[in-house]
Copies of this chain bind each other. A is one copy, B any other.
Amino acid sequence: MYVIAVDLGGTNLRVALVDKSGKIIEKRDTPTRVVGGEKIVIQQMIDLIRDVLKKSQVDVQQIMGIGIGCPGPLDTKTGVIIDTPNLGWRNVALKETIEQEFQMSVCVDNDGNLAALGESWLGAGRGVEHLVCLTLGTGIGGGIIINGEILHGARDAAGELGHIIVEPNGLRCGCGNYGCMEAYASGPGITKRTIFSIKEGITTVITELVQNQLEKITPLVVYQAAIKGDELANYILSETGRYLGIGIVSIVNVLDPQLVIIGGRVAQMGELLLNHIKDEITKRAFLEPCRRIAIVPAELGDDAGIIGAAKMIQNLIYHRGTEK
């Protein structure tokens, strides 16, 4: 038995055929043609799915269903994407469209949730029943796993972990609020704070690294400067870790998970960032949940969402089985 797993992001669209054990048999990806609008992107998805099916030569009867992860807010029951700024979609009946095309079960969930589910199945959270996963990228995606299942909340909007407030009068966040963790520790949050400091006149090797083209600054550039010993870069990194630590303390005191997994492109800063996070948590860890929390890097990289999408379909089939 196999699952078609789709990870629909604002930058890339990935489709894979995944077997029962979570092994990726075939995988395709392509830049998402966001500017083309929903019809073009859905056609891209359909083409990639057909492509993967054809290449793998798996009998369609062997496919349990199609699992799709994409940015929210969305409705997991109807599979309608309600309003996704990253894609510019509003009220798109994604589940229905793909179901009609392929005549098989389709399930849609938030990409942050599926990354968490993927990591809990085959990644850094194997065997852990209660965990939280943060994906640090253009935004901060979040997913909460309780008793091995995704916490969806009342209307599929739980797990907005990037929007924990870490500085009440702080930087404006993309969501409109002030001082969200995302405003500090997402890729753009890190970049903006760096550019702001450079424009204030602080001397840093970063300016050299991007040949004075400040718009070329990325978290990776900041990281490279930091390992060279650059003072500003190290300050930006420690501030990022500090705010992540503050946010994680709040999350952990609410949820009491066993594990916090940190993934996404920004997390490629590795130990350097992780140590700043851990330092901040240690300073604030007086209550049990924080005293014993483990903070670990994600293990599945870009495949976390695909693996999670495959697991979602397996869980769906399993639940149906037990209901009978």
Q: A151-B146, A164-B253 given as contacts; is B289 within 8 A of A157 (CB)?
A: yes
Cα distance, A52 to B158, chains bound together (Å): 43
Contacts of A12 in B (CB 8 A): none
Considering only CB atoms, which chain B residue lies closest to A129 in the complex? B154
Residues of chain A from 137 to 158 with CB closer than 8 A to chain B in the complex:
142, 144, 146, 151-158
Interface status of A165 (Cβ within 8 A of chain B)? yes
Interface status of A246 (Cβ within 8 A of chain B)? yes
Q: Are B160 and A289 closer than 8 Å at their CB atoms?
A: yes
Residue of B151, B175, B288 near A155 (CB, 8 A) is: B288
A15 to chain B, nearest CB (A): 28
Query: Of A1-9, A220-228, A254-262, A312-320, which binds chain B?
Result: A254-262
Interface status of A130 (Cβ within 8 A of chain B)? yes
Q: Are B175 and A289 closer than 8 Å at their CB atoms?
A: no
Q: Are A255 and B289 closer than 8 Å at their CB atoms?
A: no
Contacts of A166 in B (CB 8 A): 165, 168
Contacts of A17 in B (CB 8 A): none
Q: Are A254 and B165 closer than 8 Å at their CB atoms?
A: no
Which of A152, A158, A168: most chain B CB closer than 10 A? Answer: A168
Cα distance, A153 to B287, chains bound together (Å): 14
Contacts of A178 in B (CB 8 A): 284
Which of A161, A163, A166, A176: most chain B CB closer than 10 A? Answer: A163
Q: Are B286 and A254 closer than 8 Å at their CB atoms?
A: no
Contacts of A73 in B (CB 8 A): 288
Please give the count of copies of this chain that the complex contains. Answer: 2
Residues of chain A from 295 to 323 with CB closer than 8 A to chain B in the complex:
none
A286 to chain B, nearest CB (A): 3
Number of A interface residues, CB 8 Å? 44
Q: Are B157 and A287 closer than 8 Å at their CB atoms?
A: yes
Q: A158-B255, A177-B286, A289-B158 given as contacts; is B152 within 8 A of A250 (CB)?
A: no
Contacts of A165 in B (CB 8 A): 166, 246, 249-250, 284
Cα distance, A172 to B213, chains bound together (Å): 43
Interface status of A251 (Cβ within 8 A of chain B)? yes
Cα distance, A258 to B254, chains bound together (Å): 17
Over the window 171-187 of chain A, the binary record of Cβ atoms lying under 8 Å from chain B Cβ atoms (1 yes, 0 no) is 00001111000000000
Contacts of A151 in B (CB 8 A): 146, 255
Q: Are B163 and A258 closer than 8 Å at their CB atoms?
A: no
Cα distance, A120 to B316, chains bound together (Å): 29
Contacts of A159 in B (CB 8 A): 254, 256
Residue of B130, B155, B243, B284 near A154 (CB, 8 A) is: B130
A-B contact pairs, 14 of them (CB 8 A): A144-B254, A152-B256, A154-B256, A157-B288, A157-B289, A158-B254, A158-B255, A158-B256, A159-B254, A160-B287, A160-B289, A165-B246, A177-B249, A251-B254
List the 5 closest pairs (A to B, CB-CB), nearest first. Answer: A153-B256, A176-B286, A158-B256, A163-B253, A160-B253
